[in-house]
Amino acid sequence: MVSEGRQRIDKWLFFARVVKSRSLAAKLAQSGRVRVNRDKADQASHLVKPGDVLTITLDRQVLIYRVVDCGTRRGPAEEARTLYEDISPKPAPRDKNLPEEMVPLREAGSGRPTKKERRATDRLRDGD
């Protein structure tokens, strides 16, 4: 039923460890978030072969993989990396002017206020 050197896209995504389960791989393909050679793969049964370029849109990133081989099982990560060549563009460098995290800074060692300090702050705020 399966042509020589071809594999269902949901099985390939599962074997390449792009997603955690085959059912998630099928949902990913059916939702139109996987493109094979720039064409949407609308069904999980779409066949991929070595040389195809997959564009996979995940929640916070876009992966571009060139299929190198078809898998036979979901093995360890080292084995999964032999199924594809990662040709994703490198992420853009962050702007130096923006802070790494938007966490408010405070003096070292100041930590949470004690109960006594909190009550004093409440008195100041309430105007007692």
Residue-level pLDDT at 21: 96
Q: How far is CA 6 from the centre of its chain?
A: 25
Q: Going by C-beta distance under 8 Å and a sequence separation of 6 or more, which residues neighbour residue 25?
A: 9, 10, 11, 13, 14, 18, 19, 44
Would you state the structure tokens that stand for residue 85, as one six-digit string?
A: 């060549």
What pLDDT, on a 0 to 100 scale, did the predictor assign at position 127? 75
Residue 1's pLDDT is 43
Spell out the domains of the chain, with CATH numbers in brackets.
7-86 (3.10.290.10)
CA distance from start to end of the chain = 82
| Residue 120: both structure tokens together | 């004093």
Give per-residue pLDDT as tens, 17-69. Answer: 999 999 999 999 999 999 999 999 999 999 999 999 999 999 888 999 999 99
84-114 confidence digits (pLDDT tens): 999 998 877 766 665 566 555 667 667 888 8
* pLDDT of 2 strictly over 90: no
